[in-house]
Structure 1
Amino acid sequence: MNLSNFFKLNKKESKPSVEEREYTILNKEALAEEKKVAVVVPVYNAEEYVRKTVDSVILQNIGFQHISLILVDDCSTDDSRNILTEYAELYENITVVFLKDNTGTPAYPRNLGIELANAKYITFLDADDWFAPNGVKILFDMLERDQVNYAVGKTIEMQVNGQKTIGKHESSLNRAKVSPFSIRHIFYHLGPRARMMNLQFLKDNDIRYPEMKFAEDKQFFMDVLLACGDISTSTEPVYYLNRMDNNESLTKQTNIMEKTDTNIAVMKYILNKKLDTEKEKMAMNRLIEFDSITRLFDRMHFLKSENKEAYYNKFNEILNVLKKTKYDISETFFHPIHKTAYRLLTQKRYDEVEKLFRWSKKEPDKNIVTQGGLAYLESPLTDEENKLVELRMHGETESAVFADHKFTVTFRLFGQDRNNAQYIQFQHRDNMKVVHQFPVQSLGDGRYVLEIPLRDIEKVGLGGYIMYVIYNDYERVMLNRDDGEKVTAEANGLQYQFYRTVKENLSLKVTK
């Protein structure tokens, strides 16, 4: 392999573009052969994890010979460049790009990967994350089978104390050729993970990452979803997101005010597209409810800040942007507490905003009131309009018994969508891959019964399980249980026990 095949570009233009920055390439000749999939990885000071990242691509069961791996280093100051050079020496289909000057954003490295890629499909991987062994094949097969421009699978976030699924709406069902707008949360969790796209589709629609420090992936994937037509989704794990420590990769450096500024830029970008109103509302909901309420106010950094005025001033900038709309964006909010906060913020009742979120974050024993099929929390606010904060959904166990060789659980849901429950999900506490689901039968007006014969529950293996009621395909709620009585049965040397957790929710434990 000839590693002397380097080249540089140095055009002296006033506004740098993908072609106009200076960089050096190892294994440029590998790009001459079209592959099935291009994997683009932006790299910055990733020496601790980048070997695991690259190895996860090499070991893909689609066959590494079908993959073009493009690693773009944004002037790392650790040993990342030496590690990448080693891989380029070992594998002829690994192309390594060394940028001369740091760009400060993963946008340029990813865009350069789009320009250099020679493949039918493209996917992105961060330099401290990794693919499941069959991750690339799962996405590739969906795109080939369904002839769509976009496919997404399950992302599992790896934490020091456990795992969790990111973006459950994307991977709750196996969907083939569905409208992205049929998934209500489709604009939530728009990082680059677990997604694959038709490369020519990106080029034909001139879709690129904006060169911003934050929110570049959000705007990119909003553009993708608004233009791609039908999409396909998989329940299979595809991507592992590394949150094992406070690693400082190129994509994980955050300042809340800077981040909000880039979110405001994305809001303006979306509104300037003059979209169909319903599509615009879906995109703006994410930017307002999630980015401007949840992330800006419903966090400890707000409560701890000594300069809360800066938060309120930033939100007023957001309200000025919303003046261009002809609808009340809060009517699209999923969580009623955010609607309450939005109302208080628009009325400039800032002391009550702080009181609301301080209570939300720090009060462990909130009183729940149920009436008319809905559930409410008694807030510390005293005015009639805001003293009761509606819950998105609340579940209560009515009874749990074992008799006639089956477990029977009756329960009731309170909420606007209380009649939309579909099944009970048992999620293993230590392994996100282990999930068991059992259908529920509606008894009317939010009441349900779950019946699990002993022969069926025997399929549930050893371990502790979180018990969820799943409604609207992917939304979920736990069941509160008032009494601590345990319900137990034995089969095949195993003990199956429904019990109340320390947080007073119904759960399942399987022991020897």
Structure 2
Amino acid sequence: MDSKELQEEFTYYNYLDNEKWKLNLPSYEKISSEVVSDLPKVSVIIANYNNAPYLEKMLDSLVNQTIGLEKLQLLFIDDKSTDTSVEIVHQYLKKYESIEIYQLTKNTGGAHGPRNVGILNARGEFLVFLDADDWYDENALQYMSGTLEKSGDDMGFFGVVQSVNGKLSLKSKAYYFDGNKIGRAIQELPSAFYEWLGPQGIMVKRSLIEDNNLHFPCQKVADDVTFFYEAMRFSKNITQGKKLTTYLNRDDNNVGLSKTINRDFMVSWLRALAYINQTFPDDISKEKFLARRLEWLVYNFGLRRDVGYKFSLKRIRDFKISIDKYLGELKFDPTIYFRTGARKTVWKYLLIEDYRGVIRFNRWHSLRHIIKKYLGIMRREENQYFYPVLNSNIPKISINMRAIAVNLVDGQVVIQIYTNGILNYFEIRNKLHPFDRNKISSKKSSLIEYKVDIPLDLDLEMYDFWVIYNGYQEQKIERIEKFISKNSL
């Protein structure tokens, strides 16, 4: 695609730094609590469409914030829902202060519309964007705003956990694995930081948004990541806080995500990457950002079979043609940031336009994965494990890490590590409270063995044991149950 065509798309989808995005927003009807603050500390922008089952949990987390409702502006922007969403919020509005309902007169087709309405009506010194099915820790907004006030930075990133049917797991690891940081230059951020740039756990100064005319482009996906990456570029330095602030809802009864990963999803993401690529100078931050998002697209459209764009030769060819159309020839090798050999292999096939090679590799690798997962069959070569080799013509793919408990010696658990990466440390983590995590002391005793001071009387129903490697990747320790029991002492 030539530059003129790209500019036309950027204009159509309201990417550009002009006033068009404001003019294209729908009108709305506004209802407010009896008491609202003229100068709130934090504005919470909530885009909603048919999220009635989740609203009470979300709203309860807001009205009980330790910062106090008098310091908040809660903007609930409804994208013309057809369920009882507005009625539910209205009950809270009658009972609590600081709530404002903006009911759009027509549906905008995505979160971008309501979020942009929220930006135009926000009065707080700081802004956060909360998805209507997620919720906050009760101290989140006090902690986030207080941390940014002290740091003086325009943008902060804080701890997020993912909730799947009540089971919690860490999200956005790079936001807090390094501990608390202020004034951290975005050019120094690790590539893992760019794995997650959704709205959860991020706070931004309103002045940063207004001074740079920041807004969400008019498309269903990639609008939030584009917005927050642009904010990072203008902020130049960020604050990180390691405390838990936000719960990301991924329950089974929530709207299925995999089928929304379709062709429109693919093109929208590539358009967003093209905009970032053209807007900002070539540097390490942009390189890492583009690589991480490309790796994610390679995973979804080169390896996955369970998405809304049917796996086929047509899909693979279309994916590569679309990459070329929007990004052209990259000036760097993105695979240096890819996390797995399978994704690197698919990219290599795409570069030489061997689409049938991708099909063959996908078929064999999918079978390898099943054999490994359900039969436990792997191939070991010295201190590295590989997926089962089923066809000598298909590249062998290493398993990033296996960590196996093999013995108990003098009260220490002996762990064997097989990896192509770099081990950082061992960690114990509370399953119910993933942010309750602590390093475990260890000593290397051979090329692959470590003696680890794991407490032997812990309940495995409550705790997991992990190896952290390559900076931010993690692997659970296998067979630990043979040596640990709540009744062992």
Is the TM value for this pair above 0.5?
yes
1:133: Cα distance to partner? 1.2
SS at the partner of 2:287?
helix
Considering fraction of residues, name the structure with more helix: 2
What are the Cα deviations for residues 239-282 of structure 1, in whole angstroms up to 9, with x where unaligned? 11122234349x99824211101011112101112423322211
1:378-418 CA-partner distances (Å, limit 9, x unpaired): 444433xx532233334344x42142xx3242433421x33
Q: Which structure: larger Rg?
A: 1
Q: 1:60 to 1:449 in 2, by over 3 A?
A: same
Q: What is the CA RMSD across the aligned residues, in angstroms?
A: 3.0
Structure 1 residues 317 and 80: CA distance shift in structure 2, 3 A: same
SS at match of 2:243: strand
Which whole-Å deviations, capped at 9, do the CAs of 1:272-309 have from their partners, x for residues lacking one? 1242332221111122111x211223223269936441
1:146 equivalent in alignment to 2:151? yes
- 1:318 equivalent in structure 2: 323
So what's the TM-score if we normalise by structure 1? 0.82
Return the alpha-carbon distance in structure 1 between the equivalents of residues 169 and 24 of structure 2.
Answer: 39
If asked which structure has higher relative contact order (CA below 8 Å, sep 6+), I would say 2
Q: What SS does structure 2 have at the residue aligned with 1:119?
A: coil
**Do structure 1's residue 125 and structure 2's residue 164 form an aligned pair?**
no
**Worse-matched range after superposition: 51-60 or 80-89:** 80-89
Q: Identify if the C-alpha distance between structure 1 residues 94 and 441 changes in structure 2 by more than 3 Å, giving closer, same or farther.
A: same
Give the drift of 1:150.
1.7
Cα drift, residue 322 of structure 1 = 3.6
Cα distance in 2, alignment partners of residues 253 and 243 from structure 1: 14
Contact 1:148–1:229 (Cα < 8 Å) also in 2: no
TM-score when normalising by structure 2: 0.85
Q: 1:315 to 1:301 in 2, by over 3 A?
A: farther
Unaligned runs of 5+ in 1: 1-13, 498-512
252 and 130 in structure 1: CA distance in 2 versus 1, 3 angstrom threshold: farther
Q: 1:354 to 1:303 in 2, by over 3 A?
A: farther
Distance 1:55 1:319, change over 3 A: same
1:320/1:344 CA distance change after superposition, 3 Å:
same
Q: Which one-letter code corresponds to 1:425 in the other structure?
A: E
Q: Select the structure that is richer in strand.
A: 1
Count of residue correspondences:
463
* Structure 1 position 20, deviation (Å): 5.1
The answer to which of 331-340 and 429-438 deviates more is 429-438
2:316 and 2:355 in contact (8 A); partners too: no
Question: 1:409 & 1:78 partners in 2: Cα distance?
Answer: 56
Q: Larger deviation: 432-441 or 54-63? A: 432-441
Deviation at 1:106, TM superposition (A): 0.7
2:22 paired residue number: 17
1:470 maps to what in 2?
468
Hey, what's the Cα distance between the residues in 2 that align with 1:289 and 1:202?
29
Among 279, 282, 285, which residue is 2:291 paired with? 285
Q: More deviation in 41-50 or 313-322?
A: 313-322
One-letter code of the match for 1:208?
H
Q: Distance in 2 between matches of 1:28 and 1:111?
A: 21
SS of 1:463 mapped into structure 2: coil
Q: Which residue of structure 2 aligns with residue 97 of structure 1? A: 102
Q: Percent identity?
A: 22
Whole-Å Cα distance in 1 between the matches of residues 365 and 259 of structure 2? 27
CA contact (8 A) 2:160 2:170 kept: yes
1:424 aligns to 2:420 (yes or no): no
- Is the CA contact (8 Å cut-off) linking 1:160 and 1:245 kept in structure 2? yes
- Of 121, 128, 132, which aligns to 1:116? 121
Q: Secondary structure at the match of 1:52?
A: helix
- Amino acid of the residue matched to residue 313 of structure 1? D
How many angstroms apart in 2 are the aligned matches of 1:355 and 1:382? Answer: 12
Q: Secondary structure at the match of 2:221?
A: coil
| Alignment-derived partner of residue 347 in structure 1 | 352
Please list the CA deviations of residues 147-187 of structure 1 after superposition, one character each: whole Å capped at 9, or x if unmatched: 21222222222212622222222232422112344222122
CA contact (8 A) 2:56 2:88 kept: yes
Q: Aligned partner of 1:395: which letter?
A: A
Task: Give the gaps of 5 or more residues in structure 2.
Answer: 1-18
CA distance in 1, matches of 2:205, 2:259: 29
Secondary structure at 2:169's aligned position in 1?
A: strand
Q: Does 1:184 align with 2:191?
A: yes
Q: Which secondary structure does the structure 1 equivalent of 2:53 belong to? A: coil
- Structure 2 distance, partners of 1:356, 1:304, is 18
Q: Does 1:388 align with 2:380?
A: no
